Amino acid sequence: MLLVTKYRKQLPGSNIADDVKQKIFDICKSHNREIIVMETDKDHIHFPVSYDTTDKICDIVKTIKQETTHCLWVKYNSFLSKQYLKKHIFWSDGYFACSIGEVSSSTIQKYIESQG
C-alpha cells in the first residue's frame, strides 16, 4: 500500500514519520493485520498489509488515514495548522494498493526499504 501526504508536503521531521509508522502498526495489530516492513519517503509511505480477504481495502485505508490523522493533529496541532489550511488534513484523497501475488516477501521488503 502507498499513502501520500496532502499536497505532497514532505513528512516533517523524524518524529512525525516515526509516529505515523507506529500508529499504522498499532492500527493494523488491533485489527489482526500484519505489516512486514514499512518505510517513509519525503512525502509518502510504503507498507504491505496482510489482511483477511473478507475485508475491503478501501475500509482498511479509511481507518488508517482517519486514525493517523487524528493522532497527528492531537500531538502536532501547532505545527500542522501552519502547514495545512484546513484542520484534520494530512493524507491525499487517493491511495495505491495492489496484490503482491507470487513475489517473495524478501523481494518486497528490499524494495520498500530502498524507498526511504
Of 32, 7, 11, 33, the residue nearest 20 (C-alpha)? 11
pLDDT of 25-61, one tens digit each? 999 999 999 998 898 888 999 999 999 989 999 999 9
Tally the domains of the chain: 1
Query: Which tens digits make up the pLDDT trace of 91-114?
Result: 999 999 988 777 777 777 777 777
Q: Is the pLDDT of residue 115 over 70?
A: no
Q: What is the pLDDT of residue 116?
A: 56
Can you give the residue range of the structural domain that contains 33?
Answer: 2-113
Model confidence pLDDT, tens digit, residues 5-16: 999 988 766 788
CA–CA dist 35, 74 (Å, integer): 25
Query: Domain holding 28: CATH number?
Result: 3.30.70.1290
For position 114, what pLDDT does the model report? Answer: 77
Res 74: pLDDT: 94
Ordered alpha helix ranges (H), 31-114: 57-75, 77-83, 105-113
**Higher-confidence residue: 113 or 81?**
81
